[in-house]
Amino acid sequence: MVKYIGKRLVYMFLTMFLIATATFFLMQTLPGSPIASYNKLNETQRAIVEKKYGIDKPKPVQYAIYMKNLAKGDLGTSFVFKGKSVNDLLATRVKPSFILGAQAMVFGTIIGILLGMLAALKQNTIWDYGSTFFAILGVSIPSFVFASLLQYWVASQWHLLPVGLWNDGWKSSILPSIALAMGPLALSARFIRTEMIEVLSSDYITLAKAKGANGFEIAFKHAFRNALIPLVTVLGPVAAGIVTGSLVVEQIFAIPGIGEQFVSSIMTNDFATIMGTTLFFSALLIFIIFIVDLLYGIIDPRIRLSGGKG
Amino acid sequence: MKTNKWLLLVALSLVLSLVLAACGNKDKDEDKTAAPDKEDEKATEQPTEEAGEPDAEQVVNLIESAAIPSVDSAIVEDAVGFNVLNNVNEGLYRLNLENIAEPAMAAEEAEVSEDGLTYTFKLRDAKWSDGTPVTAHDFVFAWQRAIDPATGSPYGPFMMSGVIKNATAISEEKMEKSELGVVAEDDKTLVVTLERPVPYFLSLMSFGTFYPQKEEFVTSKGDAYATNSDNLLYNGPFVLTEWDGTGDSWVYKKNEHYWDAENVKLETINVDVVKDSATAVKLYNDGKKDRAGVSGDLALQYGTHEEAVNESDTAVFYFKFNQERNGEKTPLANVNIRKALAKSFEKEDLADVVLANGSTAANFLVPRDFAYDESGTDFRDISGDHLVYNVEEAKEYWAKGLEELGVSELEFEILGGDTELSKKMNEYFKAQLEGNLEGLTIKLKEVPFAVRLELDGNQDYDIQVSGWGPDFQDPISFMDLFVTDGTNNLMSFSNKEYDELIEATKDELALDPAARYEAFAKAEKILLEDEAAIAPIYQRGLIQLQKPYFKGLGIHPFGADHSYKWAYISGKE
């Protein structure tokens, strides 16, 4: 196990290095300059400003400086938020995105699993159709549509929760979390249903039934655990996507999150912030994939992480 | 069983679509009730300022369109930053509600030497928010810092070069910053020496780049200066609080140390960044915000709302005709072709129907309601209209141009933005130009702003939809763009007479306002009527929803957008 984790950490480090390199050079192909007042400056002044921000140096030199700073954990200084380090920028903007993402994952997965189980256990009944319909809805309608509908009905019409902004404590996070949760909810409901139906018809369930196990034991102790494996595989990347991909929902609810910041940094050529956010997203995704792999071993002991002879 | 399942699904889908459709209809119905019987009316005026007694509670909730990138007056280069600066700091002059620069940190009007080159300012007794006095040295320090190449200020050189003595040489590292033409004779006397007479110099004094900074404070904070609300010092009507440097919300509190604090009524201004126009309107309707900008389709919808205010803007948009591409002359180098294109599209329809956001048709470069002569006459009334829509004339010019070029058809690419509004506008241009000029094919190239800037810089386009918003109140802010080799010219336009006229406005005519405005009018005629170097399209307008109880807001057509100094709440309770 330790050996496996060690090896994985080396790979993770290598992956990050490759991502940083690729992003750095891809970013250089973006058109335009990070200097917002570019067309107001003459040649000399442009050169002076470029020198100040270090973008006058040859690309390989800039790359070397960037990697050196990165090794020290310094992501550089934002071009847009003058004098602010990208580390600070990420620190203040990650929190709202993380809260939304985590709530959406927990809410979406729990409700999704319950719906999926209900559908599998009560196959071909109104419960089954209802939950399937809900799942199709969740998969086919993008989260920003849910966001607009929730905002319109729940906030604007019924005045139950805030229309937007991030200043009403937990209340501010409920609607955007629900909007974001619809995707994972639908996904887990579909997976759990399919897997459970398959597991429920397998021999060992028949055996368990023969041994006198009750319905609850069969559903939770035997079937559910086996049905979880494919779900964990899919939910890993979904989790990363939710934390990082909530940009439209963040914009609709006017939440100062990281997703929205990422897009605006690309639009303004804020090189340091683009790099910082990309690396942050990549690290998050790689870490989640790693956790998912570790979880396999816990959910299903037959999967051995040491990669040994068995 | 299978059939049943599908039937159920179809039925449920139908129910859902009905629910969704109902949402849509409800939306439309509500809009109708929001604007009863006002179909043909347009909100073209600000609500009349009825003087009302200020309420006991003076709190206003506002929206900004973006986060604050910086509040360091030497570094700021964006609209939000300048807006914040204008409300928490103050320069020698400040724009009043009529948009006239009046003494602020200066105790009285400046004393100007006969040759117009030396301005002496006497400072009033004013304090920084830490209780220490604002002195002439604070101005010297701030201005030297803004022009110092080491600071990397984008606006310092832009605003000072050719205006303040030695600014250009200092910004190019050819002279020491201490040689800048600004001296503190004593704590209360500031003497500024100019490079040449600048008729609009006092209006510049209200611009953020020229605000004071206290050396001791700035130096002690080092790199942390102006990175959050605690690392700033204020000498304006408000102080900034709860700003962490990157966040999407902040609060202005009344500055008790401000010299004119007794005339500042608002106690608290809560600001949140809301980028989505629909959300802004929902927050406004919900009573969470007292003002909200509407754009795009919403502008069409809310333009007739009883609380809609048409906020005049001074940005002007126009076609740039590129006369040289890849080192070779383009067909646009032919003046008749340019005139034909410039006169062949209906601008009123574009502004009223396509844009429908308060924008108005433009037959000029220098905007309306922006620059006035000594008697208060709008420059527009002096210079008149140019390149007015006229299909017949356009067709004649077109035929003549084609003949001169020896071709029967031409193809041009219009380079424009990639927003929904830009795309709608570009389609309109294509239909109008192709419809009116036989043998013309228009291709549309819709790209993000950064790409457009790059293509503009490389002069890699045929026709470009471009725009300019002024930083100070003088026709030169626009007219200077198109002199030979001007920073924004980038289309190989060159006219000797035009260059001479613009040069004269900076030189021998600088102290003769009437002759200077005449020169601008002549130059504008050359640029548009004679040369059709550019083709004006529209002057931008903005529609804002504003609660009737929010009064006294200063709206400025150049420099910072708003002044909250005189704003107050009356009749909300």
pLDDT in tens, B160-178: 999 999 999 999 889 999 9
Smallest Cα distance from B229 to chain A, Å: 13
How far is A141 from A178, CA to CA, in rounded Å? 13
Which of B276, B418, B451 is the best mutation test for A, with the most CBs of A within 10 A?
Answer: B276
* H helix or E strand, kind and range, residue B479: helix B476-479
- List the beta bridge partners of residue B62: B271
Q: Which positions in chain B touch A28 (Cβ < 8 Å)?
A: none
Nearest to B281, CA basis, from B303, B253, B262: B303
Give the nearest partner residue to B77 out of A37, A44, A129, using CB atoms.
A37
Q: HSE-up of A112 (CA within 13 Å, CB side)?
A: 30
- Say how many C-beta atoms besides its own lie within 10 A of residue A57's C-beta: 13
Q: Which positions in chain A touch B171 (Cβ < 8 Å)?
A: 44-45, 48
Average pLDDT on B374-403 reads 94
pLDDT in tens, A245-273: 577 888 899 998 888 788 888 888 888 99
Place of tokens 């022009």: B147
Q: Which chain B residue has its CA at the smallest distance from A254's CA? A: B274
Q: Does B29 touch chain A (CB under 8 A)?
A: no
Q: Does B273 touch chain A (CB under 8 A)?
A: yes
How far is B482 from B497, CA to CA, in rounded Å? 12
Length of chain A: 310
Taking only residues 227 to 266 of chain B, the set having a beta carbon closer than 8 angstroms to any beta carbon of chain A reads 227, 244-249
| Cβ pair A31:B451 closer than 8 A | yes
Q: Which positions in chain B touch A268 (Cβ < 8 Å)?
A: 450
Interhelix angle A86-121/A271-299, nearest 10 degrees:
40
How far is B161 from B167, CA to CA, in rounded Å? 5
Q: Which positions in chain A touch B448 (Cβ < 8 Å)?
A: 267
Place of tokens 């940083």: A20
Report residue B72 as tokens: 């360091």
Taken in order B134, B137, B141, B142, the sign of the CA dihedral is positive
Taking only residues 342 to 371 of chain B, the set having a beta carbon closer than 8 angstroms to any beta carbon of chain A reads none
CA distances from A223 to A219, A227, A236, B233 (A): 5, 6, 21, 65
Place of tokens 């709206």: B555
How far is A34 from A20, CA to CA, in rounded Å? 19
pLDDT at A303: 63
- The yes-or-no verdict on residue B35 having pLDDT over 60 is no
Q: Which chain A residue has its CA at the smallest distance from B480's CA? A: A40
- The yes-or-no verdict on residue B465 having pLDDT over 60 is yes
- List the beta bridge partners of residue B269: B60, B252
How far is A243 from A278, CA to CA, in rounded Å? 13
How far is B152 from A51, CA to CA, in rounded Å? 9
How far is B366 from B379, CA to CA, in rounded Å? 8
- The yes-or-no verdict on residue B572 having pLDDT over 80 is yes
Q: HSE-up of B448 (CA within 13 Å, CB side)?
A: 12
Q: Which positions in chain B touch A134 (Cβ < 8 Å)?
A: none
CA angle B288, A263, B20 (to 5 degrees): 55
* pLDDT, greater one: B219 or A213: B219
Report residue B100 as tokens: 């006239």
How far is B245 from B236, CA to CA, in rounded Å? 19
Q: Are B413 and B401 in contact (CB under 8 A)?
A: no
pLDDT at A305: 55
Length of chain B: 573
Helices (DSSP H) in B372-419: which residue ranges? 379-383, 391-405
pLDDT confidence bin for B113, thresholds 50/70/90 = very high
Q: Does B485 touch chain A (CB under 8 A)?
A: no
Q: Which chain A residue has its CA at the smallest distance from B17's CA? A: A137
How far is A278 from B239, CA to CA, in rounded Å? 35
pLDDT at B1: 40
How far is B307 from B34, CA to CA, in rounded Å? 10
Backbone angles phi, psi at B554, to 5 degrees: -85, 120
- The yes-or-no verdict on residue B24 having pLDDT over 70 is no
Which of A52, A82, A124, A171 is the best mutation test for B, with the most CBs of B within 10 A?
Answer: A82
Contacts (Cβ under 8 Å, ≥6 apart) of B399: none
Average pLDDT on B61-76 reads 93
% of residues, chain A, pLDDT over 70: 95
Q: Please provide the average confidence, as pLDDT, over all residues in chain B.
A: 88
Backbone angles phi, psi at B325, to 5 degrees: -135, 135
Average pLDDT on B428-455 reads 92
How many CB pairs below 8 A link A and B?
A: 161
pLDDT at A244: 61
- The yes-or-no verdict on residue B2 having pLDDT over 60 is no
Report residue A264 as tokens: 């605006």
Smallest Cα distance from B282 to chain A, Å: 7
Task: Report which residue type is found at A66.
Answer: Y
| Cβ pair A32:B285 closer than 8 A | no
- The yes-or-no verdict on residue B551 having pLDDT over 90 is yes
Q: HSE-up of A183 (CA within 13 Å, CB side)?
A: 25
Instruction: Tell how many helices (H) and how many strands (E) occur in chain B.
Output: 18, 23
pLDDT in tens, B284-304: 999 999 999 988 778 888 888
Backbone angles phi, psi at B97, to 5 degrees: -65, -20
Q: Does B268 touch chain A (CB under 8 A)?
A: no
Q: Which positions in chain A touch B1 (Cβ < 8 Å)?
A: 124
| Cβ pair B453:A32 closer than 8 A | yes
The strand ranges marked E within B15-75 are 59-64
3-state secondary structure of A205: helix
Q: Are B532 and B318 in contact (CB under 8 A)?
A: no
Q: Are A272 and A78 in contact (CB under 8 A)?
A: yes
Report residue B52 as tokens: 């009302």
- The yes-or-no verdict on residue B545 having pLDDT over 50 is yes
CA angle B493, B498, B499 (to 5 degrees): 85
pLDDT at B10: 46
**Dihedral Cα A138, A143, A144, A150, nearest 10 deg:** 70
Average pLDDT on A152-174 reads 90
Nearest to B559, CA basis, from B495, B481, B469: B469
3-state secondary structure of A76: coil
Report residue B170 as tokens: 């200092």
Smallest Cα distance from B453 to chain A, Å: 6
